Amino acid sequence: MSHLEPAERKGPQPRVLVVEDEDDIRTLVRYNLEQEGFRVDEARDGAGAYESIRRRLPDALVLDLMLPGMPGLELCQKLRAEAATHLLPIVMLTAKGSEVDRILGLEMGADDYIVKPFSPRELVARIRAVLRRANAQGAPAAGPVYERGRLRMDMGTYEVFVDGKQRQLCLREFELLRFFVEHPMRVYSREQLLDLVWGRDVFVEPRTVDVHVRRLRRQIERDDSKPELILTVRSVGYRFNPQALG
């Protein structure tokens, strides 16, 4: 064993999403991360990265600044604006290394940056450092918890319990439920929910909200054919009624 520290880590090895359009660099980063025991996902552009994150939330992101389509900075800002990813550790790659890039990257929410050409070993060290910081911040017990009646939500670990039983919510369902518990009783239209929970994502239509509400009801309502928690307000939208939690 060449490294002592990571071997002590409990649970599965952290998963890193590498976002870079240059195949050589992406492959190099992947190889070095895998050598160190990380699990690696890859994306070639910002949109692909965003999709990958929605499918499976990584523990950290290596994000190249220069990407086709959605630039790295824009993706970074987008991730920072969403509840599920606003703490996701991000290490930016930049080809320029100018002061402007560095400051911009950090202002846009990157946790660290590394200048090309970089030593893979240094990149791995940076990733470990941001993961350590993130773990210290978001240690499971330290996450804020919403608890009322039969519902318990841990915002740090994304766990949801109903009547003491854990429910498997996808990221978006979790975010939607979090939005509801944080904004009880008020009525929101589908368009508002899209804006506030999904962000400005051009690929989704208002009907998506209904699909997620249906799935969420199946997970949290006593009887999803007679919802008491997420109420439909006809021809307007939805509202969350925490009183029904007991």
The residues binding Ca ion (CB under 5 A) are: 21-22, 64, 66
Residue number with CB closer to Ca ion (20 or 82) = 20
Residue number with CB closer to Ca ion (90 or 176) = 90
- Smallest gap from Cβ 66 to Ca ion, in A, equals 4
SS3 assignment, position 18: strand
Residues 6 or more apart whose CB falls under 8 angstroms from that of 66 comprise 21, 72, 94, 95
Q: Provide the b/e sequence for 79-111 (b: ≥16 CB within 10 Å).
A: beebbbbebbbbbbbbeeeeeebbebbeebbbb
To 10 degrees, the CA torsion angle through 88, 89, 93, 97? Answer: 120
For residue 205 the two structure tokens come to: 């239509």
Please choose, from the candidates 139, 72, 154, the residue with its C-alpha nearest in 3D space to the C-alpha of residue 105.
72
Residue number with CB closer to Ca ion (116 or 152) = 116
How many angstroms separate the CA atoms of 178 and 183, rounded?
9
Please choose, from the candidates 159, 161, 23, 38, the residue with its C-alpha nearest in 3D space to the C-alpha of residue 91.
38
- Smallest gap from Cβ 19 to Ca ion, in A, equals 9
Residue 7: phi and psi, rounded to 5, are -65, -20
Residue 216: phi and psi, rounded to 5, are -65, -40
Residue number with CB closer to Ca ion (116 or 215) = 116
- Smallest gap from Cβ 167 to Ca ion, in A, equals 39
Please choose, from the candidates 28, 23, 11, 74, the residue with its C-alpha nearest in 3D space to the C-alpha of residue 47.
74
Residue number with CB closer to Ca ion (74 or 163) = 74
Residue number with CB closer to Ca ion (59 or 64) = 64
- Smallest gap from Cβ 98 to Ca ion, in A, equals 16
- Smallest gap from Cβ 146 to Ca ion, in A, equals 40
- Smallest gap from Cβ 67 to Ca ion, in A, equals 6
